[in-house]
Amino acid sequence: MPKNVGGVPSVPFNCQNCSIRKSTICQPLGSNQLEVVETYKSGDRILPAGSLLYREGDSCSELYNLLDGWVALCRYLTSGRRLILDFVLPGGFFGYQTDLMGPMRHEAKCLTDVAVCVFPRRPFPSLLERHPPLALSLIRLQAGDKLSSDNRLTNIGARRARARVAHLLLEFYVRVHRRHPKSGGVVVDLPINQQHIADALGLTNVHVNKALRVLREEGLVSFKSCQLEILDPMRLSEIAEFPPETVLSHL
């Protein structure tokens, strides 16, 4: 089981000192407007690593802001294969889908101990309608999710294994680093194993292992026991066709 990253999840006493205020849907609200969401929200919750927030097919009455920890959104096919649609990091907003009150189209699984801020689902549209800045904020979040969906689709659909793995690891590096600009290292902790990488990329754990070995022997990147180390950012972003300036701005 992957280790937790960053210690025990912390739950804010209130929205004022919420650590993710500026990166999630609440972003447009000023300090004096936080009661808008504070009265809607149903509370915070802490879950252990490995637990599920909802399953595919469940009807789920909540929406989630991830306060701390990592969550994987995934699906299971009849073949038994698992596909990881997305990894949610702190600040991520998830659970929203077209058929708002219908069965969930994917599962949400905690990769670490997790803290979430919970909204009730049913009154959510009226919250958005009464507070246009929140609606615009959700639109922005959705557009961002769509972009990363497109990027993942591009990755799986058009690159081969070595480049696919390289691309995903670079994405992890940038996403984690964006949240910890101070820690200047090229090493970051990821609460995942090779099976997660495989399921996110449409590969097998065995082939991911072999691709990782090649990347390591080439001196490009290493991923061992939940530690990701970027060894040669420039060449790595080259073979991954990952925009180099995006990587450089995080070194």
Q: Can you give the binding site for DNA, defined by CB under 7 A?
A: 1, 160-162, 193-195, 202-207, 209-213, 224-225
Q: Which of 8, 52, 153, 214 binds its own copies (CB under 8 A)?
A: 153
Tokens standing for residue 136: 């615009």
CA distances 70 to 31, 40, 123, Å, are: 27, 24, 26
Can you tell me the distance from the alpha carbon of 215 to that of 93, in angstroms, rounded to the nearest whole number?
33
Q: How far is the CB of 202 from DNA (least distance, A)?
A: 6
Q: How far is the CB of 162 from DNA (least distance, A)?
A: 6
Choose among 26, 123, 31: nearest CA to 66. 26
Q: Which stretch binds its own copies (CB under 8 A): 1-9, 35-43, 122-130, 189-197?
A: 122-130
H/E stretch holding 230 = strand 227-230
Q: Are 110 and 79 in contact (CB under 8 A)?
A: no
Q: How far is the CB of 203 from DNA (least distance, A)?
A: 4
Q: Which stretch binds its own copies (CB under 8 A): 19-27, 32-40, 42-50, 72-80?
A: 72-80
Instruction: Return the one option of DNA, its own copies, none that residue 1 interacts with (CB less than 5 to 8 A, by type).
Output: DNA
- CA angle 84–90–95, rounded 5-degree value: 55
Q: How far is the CB of 11 from its own copies (least distance, A)?
A: 28
Can you tell me the distance from the alpha carbon of 130 to that of 176, in angstroms, rounded to the nearest whole number?
34
Choose among 81, 126, 137, 111: nearest CA to 191. 111
Q: How far is the CB of 24 from DNA (least distance, A)?
A: 29
CA distances 200 to 8, 18, 82, 164, 196, Å, are: 26, 30, 8, 10, 6
Q: How far is the CB of 128 from DNA (least distance, A)?
A: 38
Choose among 69, 72, 98: nearest CA to 3. 69
Instruction: Return the one option of DNA, its own copies, none that residue 193 interacts with (CB less than 5 to 8 A, by type).
Output: DNA
Chain mean position to CA 57: 21
Question: Between residues 153 and 187, which has the closer beta carbon with respect to its own copies?
Answer: 153
Instruction: Return the one option of DNA, its own copies, none that residue 143 interacts with (CB less than 5 to 8 A, by type).
Output: its own copies
List residues near its own copies by CB under 8 A. 75, 77-79, 81, 83, 85, 96-98, 105-106, 125, 128-130, 132-133, 135-136, 138-140, 142-147, 149-150, 152-154, 156-159, 201-202, 241
